[in-house]
Amino acid sequence: MNTKLQSKGETVFSVTNYILLLLVILICLIPVVNLVAKSFSDEASILAGDVFLWPINFNVDAYEVVLNSKRFLVSFQNSVIITVLGTILNVLLTIFTGYALSRSRLRGAKAIMMLYVFTMLFSAGIIPTYLIVKELGLLNSLWALILPSLVSPFNMIIVRLYFFGIPDSLEESAKMDGAGNLRILFQIMIPLAYPVIATIALFCAVEYWNSYFDALMYINDSGRLPLQVFLREMLMSVSDATSNIDMLSSADVPQEAIRGATVVAATLPIVIVYPFLQRFFVKGMVLGAVKG
Amino acid sequence: MGMNKKTKKMGIVLLLLMLTASALAACGNTKNAGNGKGADASAAPTTAATKAPKEKVTLRILGENNMEEFPAGSDVNNNVIINELRERTGFDIQWELMPKDPEVARQKLNVLMASGDTPDLIILSNKGIFGNFVQQGLLTPLNDLLESDGPDIKSTLTEEQWKSATFEDQIYAVRTVNFSSAVNGLLARKDLLAAAGVGEIKTQEEFYQALKALKAKDPSIIPYAANLAQGLSSLDAIASMFYPPVDYVQQDGKVVYTPLLPAAKEFLAFANKLYAEGLIDQEAIVSKSENLKEKLVSGQAAMSTVGWYEEPSISKALAEKKPGAEMVFMAPPVGDNGAAGFSRNSTTAKYFMIPKASKHAQEVMQFLNKVTNDEIINLISFGLEGTHYELKDSKLVALPEQENIRYRVYYNMFDTIELGLQRLEQKGFAPYFEAVNKTAKHENVVNLVPPVELVDKTNQELIDLRNEYFLKMITGALPLSAYDEYVTKFKKLGGEAVIEALNTAYNGN
């Protein structure tokens, strides 16, 4: 229907747009496809630079190595724990804080707010933070990656502003119907805030999934390192060979295919989970809209 | 009533939160033994303490992470080798590993040092970090300790080797030796050379004629490939015909910077000729080592300067891709002025440093003194005699069980050249190494002296400047006359002061 209404110029415009956007998609996709192709190819073909978009001498050896690797599985598990637990706690606490600070009846809300904003402007630096983590006995524990940044002031402010936008009258009428503070929060406010919660949940999840620097700072035990660290070490160990000859052995220097397979195996879960999350987010938004 | 219900609910939520928190905290901390309380660790009873009547001192050792995967049920602090090591030395050592990412590793070290929560012993190979720590006064001087508690350590190194860890007459680190001092060799396709009718290549002229013959035989072949995007070292085979392919060498009792030698100009002229005639890969300037490897493996390139440890994988892949192709390390040609030989890495390696904040400096020295013992070096290199290796004709022969131990992390301790070579042989790398070892000759003076602040600061700039000008002159982007401009800029950057500083550090005048 639309096409009939379009003038020639508009058609040209759309076609050019499509072509350009397709090109952009291709540019983004080619490295990924190349990596996937490499992960299924044999070593000699990769070294010779023959593999481009399609695997040569197709095999799944690399995946067998990766999926049987204890460190991969352990790191993967760690990352899942950090992400799931961290996101749940983080979102919950952010909502609590944001909601409380958005209510005018909370005395001293402004002062508390200032304290949060202060941390956005000034940070203590690596060493004091490290000392606190250490003195709390969190070193070498996954909690060191979850607890120190449990409420991000930035996210909290977004949530708080959102709650501000919800009229007080809604809360008052709920109160009249006999709802307590918690019921108001969980059954009225939170359902109304699904869109914003979905947004900050996504922020948090990505941040926790990508934990890297903190993990290297606070965790020494290789059994407790997250996936990103494992990935990085995997990708770096080839260049390591130059500095440490004892690492060399035809069997266990990670070959190109294994590196590719590790990256794929580490990325795939998020890629798979994402569409489901997205649907949930959209639903949440609709839900909020209907009720509001 | 409503109030009551509300508080109840809230209570339950809080309780649940706390329960999950404590449960997870508990399982997160089970293996935290040596870590939580750091400094007063000697008081902390550890697993070992239950057995031994006398409490073992806990020593925290921070080492580089060159570890591979430990089999299920064991880890870096719980495996056959470390348990045996604890048994034999009488110290409860707890190993920590540095992050592999060098930038993060540096930051973590700084945080550890600044927080006072330092390990008792740091074993690293980074010279810059060592120099930094010394200059900041973070390390324990070792002269007295070596005298009182490290009698066996003193003799593991020569006077000259100790010099590389000495500042103002105080030794600040124990070092060990590194067997793998040879790096690069001239790798060539024997079959292609034979097909082009090239015999032995001994001189610069023969080298030139060989490259020309390769190109004449098959114009699609790149006679000499290089990865110049990562510096000049892939041209070492060519440069070594003119001057030692390392930055600073000792000549006639003085330290000189090789790019300033008259021979450097001749090298540039020769390399420029090769490049202009298409004998050096025209894409070399944008090639990285992966690209170079790719060209060798796919059979496009006939020659290059390559590290010996790259050879096995290149040969293996080449054999699959091009049956009949043969890759060998060739003796490099000798220059008209008699110059020959590749670079040689320092035979001294690693810095064993005791931070000032450690309360166990003396125990660390006692521990180090014990691990210089040959039997313990054998243990950390090969495992247990009878289980992991056996002695045959005074040579160590690996038993199948050796594949199951993940001992590599302990190489970060003492080593001997003989044992290093034996490990190389056990892994089947000896032929590649030996081929290159014969031609490795020149040692960079920088590696022989203790870290010099001025050198650490300026040297990278000097290297970048040299690479920029040399590459441009070789590829013809700048005329050869730009060499004078290069020298002027070198002086402007303070290059002469760097040479002087190295000279003072090395020759002491």
Q: Mark which residues 78-137 of A lie under 8 Å from B by CB.
A: 85, 126-127, 130-131, 134, 137
* Residue B53 binned pLDDT confidence (cut-offs 50, 70, 90): very low
Q: Mark which residues 181-210 of A lie under 8 Å from B by CB.
A: 181-183
Domain assignment present for B423: no
**pLDDT digits 0-9 by tens, B99-155:** 888 888 888 898 889 888 889 999 988 888 899 899 889 999 999 999 999 888 988
Q: Could you tell me which residue, B186 or B290, shows the higher pLDDT?
A: B186
Task: Name the least confident of A84-88, A172-176, B35-39, B57-61.
Answer: B35-39
Domain count, chain B: 2
Domain assignment present for B380: yes
Q: Could you tell me which residue, B292 or B313, shows the higher pLDDT?
A: B292
A44 and B307 in contact by Cβ < 8 A?
no
Averaged confidence pLDDT in chain B: 83
Angle between helices A61-68 and A256-291 (to 10 degrees): 70
Domain assignment present for B28: no
Give B18-57 as a DSSP string: HHHHHHHHHHHSTT-TTTTTGGGGGGS--HHHHHSSSPPE
CATH 1.10.1200.10 fits A63-291, yes or no: no
Domain assignment present for B329: yes
Q: Could you tell me which residue, A269 or B9, shows the higher pLDDT?
A: A269
Look up residue A150 and give its DSSP letter. S
Q: What is the pLDDT of residue B171?
A: 93
Our CA angle for B314, A66, A216, nearest 5°, is 95
The verdict on B110 and B188 lying in the same domain is: no
Q: Which of A137, A216, A241 sits opposite B29 (nearest CB)?
A: A137
Give the residue from chain B lying closest to A132, CA to CA.
B115
Question: What percentage of chain B has pLDDT greater than the value 70?
Answer: 86
Domain assignment present for B426: no
CB pairs below 8 Å between A and B: how many?
A: 145
* All CATH 1.10.3720.10 domain ranges in chain A, comma separated: 63-291
Residue B169 has pLDDT above 80, yes or no: yes
Domain region containing B144: 42-179+347-415
Domain assignment present for B209: yes
Q: Could you tell me which residue, B51 or A138, shows the higher pLDDT?
A: A138
Spatial contact of A240 and A178, defined as CB atoms under 8 Å apart = no
Report how far apart, in Å, the C-alpha atoms of B5 and of each of B1, B10, B330 are: 6, 9, 86
Distance CA B289, CA B303 (A): 14
Rg (chain A; Cα; Å): 25
The verdict on B153 and B267 lying in the same domain is: no
The verdict on B151 and B53 lying in the same domain is: yes
Q: What is the pLDDT of residue A282?
A: 58
Q: Could you tell me which residue, A93 or B29, shows the higher pLDDT?
A: A93
Spatial contact of B176 and B415, defined as CB atoms under 8 Å apart = yes
The verdict on B300 and B441 lying in the same domain is: yes
Residue B11 has pLDDT above 70, yes or no: no
The verdict on B410 and B459 lying in the same domain is: no
The verdict on B228 and B143 lying in the same domain is: no
The verdict on B373 and B396 lying in the same domain is: yes
Give the residue from chain A lying closest to B289, CA to CA.
A239
Q: What is the pLDDT of residue A237?
A: 63
Put simply, whether A175 touches B (Cβ < 8 Å) is: no
We report the CATH number of the domain holding residue B406 as: 3.40.190.10
The verdict on B479 and B444 lying in the same domain is: yes
Choosing from B365, B384, B415, the residue where a domain stops is: B415
The verdict on B238 and B303 lying in the same domain is: yes
The verdict on B318 and B438 lying in the same domain is: yes
Q: What is the pLDDT of residue B467?
A: 94
The verdict on B167 and B155 lying in the same domain is: yes
Q: What is the pLDDT of residue B193?
A: 92
Residue B181 has pLDDT above 70, yes or no: yes
Q: What is the ipTM of this complex?
A: 0.73
Spatial contact of A194 and B20, defined as CB atoms under 8 Å apart = no
Q: What is the pLDDT of residue B18?
A: 54
Distance CA B346, CA B163 (A): 13
**pLDDT digits 0-9 by tens, B381-399:** 788 888 888 887 777 777 7
Domain assignment present for B12: no
Distance from the Cα of B111 to chain A's closest Cα (Å) equals 6
Q: Could you tell me which residue, B402 or A58, shows the higher pLDDT?
A: A58
Distance from the Cα of A140 to chain B's closest Cα (Å) equals 7
Q: What is the pLDDT of residue B265?
A: 93
Within a 13 Å sphere around the CA of A33, how many CA atoms are in the beta-carbon half? 9
* Residue B54 binned pLDDT confidence (cut-offs 50, 70, 90): low
Choosing from B391, B415, B439, the residue where a domain stops is: B415
Residue B203 has pLDDT above 50, yes or no: yes
The verdict on B124 and B137 lying in the same domain is: yes
Domain assignment present for B23: no
pLDDT along chain A (292 residues), means of 10: 69 93 93 90 79 84 81 89 94 93 87 91 86 90 90 91 86 88 89 85 86 88 85 68 47 66 83 70 50 42
* Residue B32 binned pLDDT confidence (cut-offs 50, 70, 90): very low
Residue B367 has pLDDT above 80, yes or no: yes
